[in-house]
Amino acid sequence: MSDPVRTTRLPSGIDVPVLGLGTWNMGEDRRRHAEEVAALKLGLDLGMTLVDTAEMYGSGGAEEVVRDAIAGRRDAVFLVSKVLPSNASRAGTVRACEASLKRLGTDRIDLYLLHWRGGVPLAETVAAFEALKQAGKIRHWGVSNFDTEDMEELADAGGSGVETNQVLYNLSERGIEYDLLPEAAARGLSVMAYSPVGQGDLARDARIARIAARQNATAAQVALAFVLRKPDIIAIPKAVRPQHVRENRAALDIVLTDADLKELDAAFPPPRRKQRLAMI
């Protein structure tokens, strides 16, 4: 693991790590705060300098975990957070961003996402994002849980500045391979994959474990390596145990063979038709 974490380029030209740190379910129990901070610090030490969080996670608690993890090293971190759709009006987005900045202990968010679509017109949220950029409070903006039709509507709403779309993607949820991934690639848009190793089920899957044994890896590492096999996908797994953090980093060095991929396709068939975007 001596090599630096591979990067991908966002439409604005900025390079970001393809393997980052997720924080979903962090910040919910103050008794775990130190443990969670330590896990993020270890990930940063290992080169996973993209940190993903959201105002929703732990009702802001995850952002406070991130604050303590990045203290003293803010400039080395690419920080991602999200605004809830219920807060995504023109004024509400600005207020939510300012609250997130306070919890994060920073003066800017590198990438600010609309968490999912709500009732606020997209043009209004986009206008708020652009105003935040102009004010220097965010550097870039994007979306999350947007299907292909949503991306088309975003373009019509003046959303040409979108940098990424964060969606659910793993071996069990491959629907985006049919249309969303190809369309994003055609636009030069990287996709961020949340829950890239599922909710624990993939780590226990015997079919993946057989491949993992050949790779001298764990099933979770193979599942993560599958997501990372494409150069324009950013994976943001969450881990708290130090061993898990290190295993996630090592997954980046796994090269799945054609035989491995064929076996995974047999166990988890790729989509043959359009599927509704999966969300959790």
Q: Is 57 a catalytic residue?
A: yes
Residues of the chain with pLDDT under 50: 1
Residue from 57, 112, 169, 194 carrying the catalytic annotation = 57
Tell whether 115 is in a known binding site. yes
Look at residue 7 in the predicted model and tell me its pLDDT: 97
Q: Which pLDDT score is estimated for 1?
A: 45
CA distance 280 to 145: 9
Enclosing H/E stretch for 41? helix 33-45
CA–CA separation, 34 and 30 (whole Å): 8
What's the order of all strands across the beta sheet hosting 50-52? 21-22, 50-52, 78-83, 109-114, 138-144, 162-168, 190-194, 233-235
What pLDDT does 233 receive? 97
pLDDT at 199: 86
CATH of 14-201+232-240, one of 3.40.50.11720, 2.102.10.10, 3.20.20.100, 2.30.180.10: 3.20.20.100
Q: Distance between CA 137 and CA 151 in Å, rounded? A: 24
The residue count of the chain comes to 280
pTM equals 0.96
